[in-house]
Amino acid sequence: MTIAIYPGSFDPVTNGHLDVIERASKLFDEVVVGVLSNSTKSPMFTAEERARLIEEAVQPFPNVRVDHFQGLLVDYVKSHQIDVIIKGLRAISDFEAEFQMAAMNRHLGQGTETVFLMTDVHYSYLSSSLVKEVFRFNGDIKGLVPDHVLEYMVKKLR
């Protein structure tokens, strides 16, 4: 059985993230969506809120589960016997940073493999940061995030 993790802050989860999750669920026996608590960022939502929103979004995929963690990804991977790290790429600019991170994870994780999945072209411009910025200025983000995420954002922040 091959277990993969798709790590990220997912603040908030976007339809681009869900595209990668859905495609990964077809490639691996089990996919863990790993919600990172990053002390260097100021998230809009707590790790628990983000995990709950993702859990609702991934209900159609029975082999996907959600967890959250702090610290090094490779430590989580080792302690949970995960085989593969999944990274979504939107553009060439993502590749450079993700390639460097994959090399470090491979070094620290003693051979941990990273698989890159290109996001659907419809989401190639989409990021959580951009969604938050547009939302803060009352821009329309419908269709960029799952409907329940948009509802939660409106309820919590407006």
Is 156 annotated as catalytic?
no
- Could you tell me if 108 and 74 are in contact, meaning their C-beta atoms sit under 8 angstroms apart? yes
The packing angle between helices 147-157 and 47-57, to 10°, is 150
Q: 151 a known binding residue? A: no
- List the catalytic residue out of 23, 26, 39, 41: 41
- List the catalytic residue out of 25, 65, 106, 128: 128
- Exposure of 61 by Cβ count < 10 A (0-12 exposed, 13-18 middle, 19+ buried)? middle
Is 122 annotated as catalytic?
no
Please tell me the predicted confidence (pLDDT) of residue 104: 95
Q: Could you report the per-residue pLDDT of 43-84, keeping only the tens digit for each?
A: 999 999 999 999 999 999 999 999 999 999 999 999 999 999
129-140: average pLDDT: 96
Q: 16 a known binding residue? A: no
Residue 49 in tokens: 């809120």
What pTM did the predictor assign?
0.95
Domains of the chain: 3-157 (3.40.50.620)
Is 155 annotated as catalytic?
no
Q: 53 a known binding residue? A: no
Q: How many CB atoms lie within 10 A of CB 29?
A: 11
Please tell me the predicted confidence (pLDDT) of residue 19: 97
- List the catalytic residue out of 25, 50, 90, 132: 90
Q: In the chain, which ranges are E strands?
A: 3-8, 30-36, 64-69, 84-89, 113-118
Please tell me the predicted confidence (pLDDT) of residue 91: 87
Cα dihedral sign, 31-32-33-36: negative
Percentage of the chain exceeding pLDDT 70 = 100
Q: How far is CA 148 from the centre of its chain?
A: 17
Q: 152 a known binding residue? A: no
Percentage of the chain exceeding pLDDT 90 = 89
Q: How many CB atoms lie within 10 A of CB 64?
A: 22
Is 128 annotated as catalytic?
yes
Q: How far is CA 87 from the centre of its chain?
A: 8
Q: How far apart are the first and last CA of the chain?
A: 44
Q: Phi/psi class of residue 71: alpha, beta or left (left: φ > 0; alpha: ψ in -120 to 50)?
A: left
Q: 26 a known binding residue? A: no
Please tell me the predicted confidence (pLDDT) of residue 41: 77
